[in-house]
Amino acid sequence: MNPACNSTTHISRRTLLRTAGLSGLAWLTPVAHWLGHAQEQAPKGGSAKSIIMLWMGGGPSQLETFDPHPGKKIAGGTKAIGTAAKGIQIAAGLPQTAEVMDEMTLVRSVVSREGDHERGTYHVKTGHRPDPTLVHPAIGAVVCHQLNGPEDQQVDIPRHISILPNQWPARGGYLGAQWDAFKVYNTEGRAGNLTARVKPERLDRRLDDLQVVEQNFARRRRPQLDEKTTLHNHTIDKALRMMRSDQINAFDVTQAPAATRDGFGKTPFGNACLAAVQLIETGVRCVEVTLNGWDTHANNHAFVAEQNAILDPALAGLIRELRARDRLKDTLVVCAGEFGRTPKINAADGRDHWPTGFSIALAGGGIRRGYVHGETDPEGVSKEPGKAVSVADVHATLLHALGIDTFKELMTPVGRPMGLTDGILVPELMTPA
């Protein structure tokens, strides 16, 4: 009805790009040749089917989690423990995670240029830096958009879900609001308004009543109003399909065996991680689970200890449970926050924002097992970690693991071609063929 973009700029932009493409003869240049070559050499796409993103809101300290420097000044007394992966140590606060480290890869050298919470969150969730002219989709939205086959038609519930989101849940960006993560704010009881407030017979009666009002509204309006413009009854039908599907039981962890639930720590975050496993099994493509509270500008050690007590059983439980259900090989697990924290401890015994050299933990979905990539300066001075990996490169690697072509371009609503990622696959992070 009301075109979102101005058609004149739309056309002129496209025409311009086409002209530029023709006159540039870019394909003749050595760079293009090299790029083409690099693409041929790239390993074949992975076979992961879904992704669980554990979102550490606030930016966790790498030193008290996955990148301890025991005995160094910057550790501030934090100890390290050995893990199931030979030669890899992590912080002492994560003993259960240590036991499953043989399933994981730690990237200790992630670098970004975004030291603000909102911008950093955007950057790490989308793989792109914030851009005033458009909003990029988060990786979960990209995965749902790109992996949309016949089996996805069998999924009645949303395929992109965010449990316990903070103020910046994963969004669909230029792909559209229908790719936004479906937000669930509780981990017990009624998830995401998916259950009716009344008994089925009374709901049916209400829906009949609604049709009386709808018919009156449609009577003197164009025939395809709902289908083309309002989508109102169209979305009600979809919502009803969800409400009436058995698949919504996947949100419910109360039916899981008590021992399984205990294994995840029985915190809201732990419950949500268990729900994530159930949801993935139901065919959901991406579940984001948020654990806030990592913004430890003061009293870092005490606060991180509390956070670790929640994270440790949940993360380890998640990996154990996926392995037990034989889902780890096709489920990517990512544990990341918007940035890390300063090696230097501040006057309030806290650590401040540090986007240059922080850790992201990966597991499953063809990710290499028992591996550490990159290293940070043990004295905490250098902002250039060894084997630095950009956030975009992490995204390229994740997309690759999911079998998505990292060189693919999508068209934004204003007709601007936009690459899925600017990053390049980091082959070392994948299980060698």
Partner 1 sequence: MTGAKVPPPVWQRNLLFAVICLAGAGAVVSDLLQSDTMNSPRDHEPRKFQNASFEATVQVVDNQFEANWARTGLKPMQPADELTLVRRLSLGLTGTIPSLEEIRELEKQPEGTRVQWWLSHLFEDRRTSDHLAERFARATVGVENGPFLIYRRRRFVSWLSDEIHVNRPYDRIVRSLITAKGLWTNNPEVNFVTVTIDQNENKGPDEAKLAARVTRAFLGVRIDCVQCHDDYLGDDWLQKDFHQLASFFGEADMTASGIHETDKPYVFKYRGAGETNAVPPQVPFSAELLPEEGHPRRRLADWVTHKENRAFARATVNRVWALMFGRPLVTPVDQIPLQATTDKPFPPGLETLADDFITNNYDLRRLIRVIAATRVFQLDSEGAEPPTDQHDAHWAAFGLTRLRPEQVAGSILQAASLKPIDANAHIIWQLSRSAQRSDFIKLYGDVGEDEFSATGGTIPQRLLLMNGNMVHERIKDNIVANAATRILATARDNPSAVEAAYLAVLSRRPSPKESAHFVAALDEGGRFARRNRMADLYWALLNSTEFSWNH
Shortest Å distance, C-beta 119 to partner 1: 10
| Whole-number Å distance between alpha carbons of 19 and 10 | 14
Contact 93, 312 (CB under 8 A): yes
Q: Hey, is 427 helix, strand or coil? A: helix
For position 310 contacting partner 1 by CB under 8 A, the verdict is no
Q: Pick the binder of partner 1 from 16, 26, 32, 411 (CB under 8 A).
A: 16
Q: How far is the CB of 169 from partner 1 (least distance, A)?
A: 10
d(CA 406, CA 422): 8
Stretch that binds partner 1, among 55-63, 101-109, 214-222, 377-385 (CB under 8 A): 214-222
Structure tokens at 168: 């910046």
Residues 353, 365: Cα–Cα separation, whole Å:
30
> How many Å apart are CA 135 and CA 418, to the nearest integer?
11
Q: What does the per-residue mask of binding to partner 1 show for 129-168, with x meaning CB under 8 A?
A: -----------------------------x----------
Query: Which among 374, 260, 369 is positioned nearest to 317, based on CA atoms?
Result: 260
CB of 63 to partner 1, least distance (A): 23
Among 25, 28, 31, 177, binds partner 1 (CB under 8 A): 177
Distances (CA, A) of 164 to 97, 256, 339, 417: 22, 20, 20, 33
427 lines the binding site for partner 1 (CB under 8 A): no
For β-strands 371-373 and 104-111, DSSP reports them as parallel
DSSP 65: T
For partner 1, which residue of 23, 41, 216, 255 counts as binding (CB under 8 A)? 216
d(CA 161, CA 50): 12
Which residues are CB-contacts of 339 (< 8 A; sequence separation ≥ 6)?
Answer: 59, 112, 114, 115, 120, 124, 353, 354, 355, 358
What dihedral do alpha carbons 241, 243, 245, 250 form, nearest 10°? 130
Task: Identify whether the C-beta of residue 56 lies closer than 8 Å to the C-beta of residue 291.
Answer: yes
Q: How far is the CB of 267 from partner 1 (least distance, A)?
A: 23
Minimum separation from the CB atom of position 91 to partner 1 (A):
28
47 near partner 1, judged by CB under 8 A: no
> Other CB atoms closer than 10 Å to residue 410's CB: what's the count?
15
Nearest approach in angstroms of CB 379 to partner 1 is 25
Q: How many residues are recorded in the chain?
A: 433
Nearer to partner 1, 13 or 329 (CB): 13
Binding of residue 44 to partner 1 (CB under 8 A): no
Handedness of CA 82, 83, 89, 93 (dihedral sign): negative
Kindly state the smallest distance separating residue 228's Cβ from partner 1, in Å.
9
CB-nearer residue toward partner 1: 191 or 319: 191
Residue among 28, 77, 220, 259 that touches partner 1 (CB under 8 A): 220
CB 133, min distance to partner 1, A: 8
* Nearest distance, CB of residue 153 and partner 1, angstroms: 16
Total binding residues toward partner 1, as defined by CB under 8 A: 55
Nearer to partner 1, 6 or 154 (CB): 6
171 sits in the region (left: phi over 0; alpha: psi -120 to 50; else beta) called beta
Between residues 5 and 35, which has the closer beta carbon with respect to partner 1?
A: 5
Find the helix or strand (DSSP H, E) in which 261 lies.
helix 258-263
Contact between 182 and partner 1 by CB under 8 A: the answer reads yes
The residues in 243-302 that bind partner 1, with binding defined as CB under 8 A, are 243
Q: What whole-number distance in Å separates Cα of residue 167 and Cα of residue 264?
A: 25
Of positions 72, 238, 261, 329, contacts partner 1 by CB under 8 A:
238
**Contact status: 19 vs partner 1 (CB under 8 A):** no
Interaction residues for partner 1, span 194-213 (CB under 8 A)? 194-197, 202, 205-206, 209-210, 212-213
List residues near partner 1 by CB under 8 A. 1-4, 6, 8-9, 12-13, 16, 115-116, 158, 176-178, 180, 182-183, 190, 192-197, 202, 205-206, 209-210, 212-214, 216-217, 219-223, 225-226, 229-236, 238-239, 242-243
